[in-house]
Amino acid sequence: MEIYKNTARIIGVLFLIPLLSYGIGNGLITSIIEKENYLQIITGNQAQIGTGALLMLINSVTVAVIGICFYPILAHKNKSIALVYLITRIVEGILLIAGIVCLWLLLSAGQLAEKTVIAQQTYFALTGTLLIKANYLFYQIAMLILGLGSICFCAVLYQTKLIARWLSVWGILGYFLLFVGALGELSGYNIGILLAMPGGLFEVGFAVWLLTKGFYKAA
């Protein structure tokens, strides 16, 4: 077996970047918009919102790059699945960017709310609620698509033995639970975070595997 460590290390790092950038970025923004008076304080925290949005944007770009980097590797094994995974990652990135735009528009809603009389602020509060809900929906749809596309991706990893088969099985199960969790969230059940954890842990384990062992390919 031949181990392609350089390519694997690059992709391993790419898998770790979204976990950190989205987690931190989302945390920065959520800490503000979860407060009842977020429209009144959001303009005063523009730097924090901007930093969070930038980190989330880095995540969106990185997930698309992952699909691009994996395409030539998977295409050699299964061109159809390689294309599916590429489209999956690009669509995921686009949907997440759409959510970021919604969060960024909250700044404008906050600025306009400051300039209006109290009687008119209900309108901007409703607008803010809709923008937050739109970001939530974009995220859940992105996870739904990611789960479906990544099940196929991990199935190819299992068939081709590019990585250890036990890790591929973990990925299939993890992404299936991610899909179920996102579907549940869209149906009104608060199960997404819990069911996303196995998939998230897989991505950490997958990244560590690529950084330390690389891909396997028959000589």
Taking only the tens place, the pLDDT of each residue in 16-31 is 999 999 999 999 999 9
Per DSSP bridges, beta strands 215-217 and 2-4 are antiparallel
Chain centroid to CA 172:
17
- Taking the C-alpha atoms of residue 72 and residue 168, their distance in angstroms, rounded to an integer, is 19
Write down the H helix ranges in 76-164: 79-114, 121-160
Residues 6 or more apart whose CB falls under 8 angstroms from that of 130 comprise none
Instruction: Give the HSE-up count for residue 176: Cα atoms under 13 Å, Cβ half-sphere.
Output: 9
Q: pLDDT tens across 92-135, in order?
A: 999 999 999 999 998 888 877 777 656 566 777 888 889 999 99
pLDDT, residue 59, reads 96
Q: pLDDT tens across 63-87, in order?
A: 999 999 999 989 988 999 999 999 9
Closest CA to 150 of 99, 199, 204, 184: 199
pLDDT, residue 3, reads 47
Two tokens, residue 148:
């479906």
Domain residue ranges in the chain: 2-217
At residue 196, what is the residue type? A
Q: pLDDT tens across 131-151, in order?
A: 999 999 999 999 999 999 999
